[in-house]
Amino acid sequence: MSSSYKSLKEECYEANMQLNALNLVVYTFGNVSAVKRDEGLFAIKPSGVPYEVLKPEDIVILDFENNIVEGKLRPSSDTKTHAFLYKNWEEIGGIAHTHATYSVAWAQAQMDIPIFGTTHADHLTADIPCAPPMSDDLIKGNYEHNTGIQILDCFKDKNLSYKEVEMVLIGNHGPFAWGKDAAKAVYNSKVLEVIAEMAYLTRQINPNAPRLKDSLINKHYERKHGKNAYYGQ
């Protein structure tokens, strides 16, 4: 692969393959993108290509206006959502979208995922937000672009920071996650799916299970992310 975007394509390819390896996708569902900020470009999985035949050279390079810069295949159908988020959230380096079972179940229920336990608090201090279903006017318009608007509106309405909450559910649709690079976006997608499953099971065992108390939320988040964090090496 002689492309000048070889490293960007390989980063995107590896992240997409990891999405599949972590059982977050079935068939051709899902996609990951990776951004090259200094050139205003991003790489994304081509639409409808099975993971078992996907190759690094198949990855499509686009600018933030959705113009193809390099690639012979059509990019993911979700490309406009990725482009919109990259344009508006300047500190993210990768985005992942899946149709993972438990995450989608909460999205279809149109419910935020409550913070029930310390696994959730290890990663964020808020409930995982679920954006309301898209309005009919937006559905009839530029749908994938408007999905990005849907996400930004949700964060504005709930007064959330994309730097602190790196995941969201789209009502009746499914999850998006992001991070400093494509690998972190995939990591956050897996964390979201695990938390979604744990929360579902918690509700089955006790429909009235209480939210995790603030002292435990703060303790677990701060020990991994605070200025005096001591988790890890």
Residues annotated as part of the active site: 122, 231
Of the candidates 94, 79, 80, the residue with the CA atom closest to the CA atom of residue 178: 94
CA-nearest of 15, 22, 33 to 101 is 22
Quote the CA–CA distance of 91 and 179 in Å, as a whole number: 8
Quick count: other Cβ atoms within 10 Å of Cβ 172? 15
Instruction: Evaluate whether 116 touches 212 at the Cβ level (below 8 Å).
Output: yes
**73 Cβ contact partners less than 8 Å away, ≥ 6 residues apart:** 46, 47, 49, 58, 60
Q: Give the sign of the dihedral formed by CA 108, CA 114, CA 115, CA 117.
A: negative
- Identity (one letter) of the amino acid at 89? W
